A = this chain, B = another copy of it.
Amino acid sequence: MHIQHGFSRGSVKARGGLAGALPAAAATFYPADTAIYAQGDKSGALYLVEFGTVRICSVTADGRRQISAFHMAGEVFGFASGAEHETYAESVDGAGIRLVRQQAGLADPNILNLALQGLGRAQNHLLLLGRRTAAEKLAVFFTDVMERQGDDRHVRLAMPRNDIADYLGLTFETVSRLIRSFKDQGVIRLKSVHEVEILDPARLEDMCA
């Protein structure tokens, strides 16, 4: 399914301490829109994002998709409760992925912390999906990406509008309209389709409700 390029890189950017003290391993480059693991694949392995962005997806029987998380440089993903993955993971934009652990197993408190971090984020996202308006959703999304990218003035959107929509529980048209609306209100400016400049961070904060 996916093409594995023989790609390797020096050291992991230890962002946020997530990746601390994890063993080194070979890295793989996944071009845009290629699968990292599929639904039904044997679980156990954990992956570290070196660069690029990864999306974790679920789908309903009739094909509606929900993106449960985006993972960026320094973050670990691949957790599964059973023997098989119930979600699937894809590279969004071309991502370097390091295999961190073949058998997520016994006795690593580090792993537990990463799993709990994932759980915390998921709970936060439940609140967003269940109880926030479309505008609030987008404001929270921008704020979140901003913080994770470490720049409090710019947001680089690695993913297409459709992915943002599937992450926020909206349609891509609504996402597009909201971005327009933020622009009209002077909260943001579009440097390009994928580059957002935050003109009024305070106002953006307010919009998170």
Q: Which residues from chain A sit less than 8 Å from chain B, CB to CB?
A: 56, 58-62, 64-66, 68, 79-82, 86-87, 104-109, 111-113, 115-127, 129-132, 166, 168-169, 209
Contacts and interface: CB of A to CB of B under 8 A. Distances in A.
A80 B130 contact: no
Contact of A60 (B59, B108, B123, B131): B131
Contacts of A105: 109
A95 to B, nearest CB: 20
A75 to B, nearest CB: 13
Number of identical monomers bound together in the oligomeric complex: 2
A114 B74 CA distance: 25
Contacts of A129: 126, 129-130, 169
A117 B60 CA distance: 20
Contact of A81 (B64, B109, B113, B126): B113
Closest 4 A/B residue pairs (Cβ): A130-B169, A81-B120, A107-B107, A122-B122
Nearest to A122: B122
A104 B56 CA distance: 27
Contacts of A87: 123
Given A107-B109, A119-B118, A209 B62 contact: yes
Given A117-B81, A129-B130, A132-B60, A123 B169 contact: no
Contacts of A123: 56, 58, 68, 86-87, 122
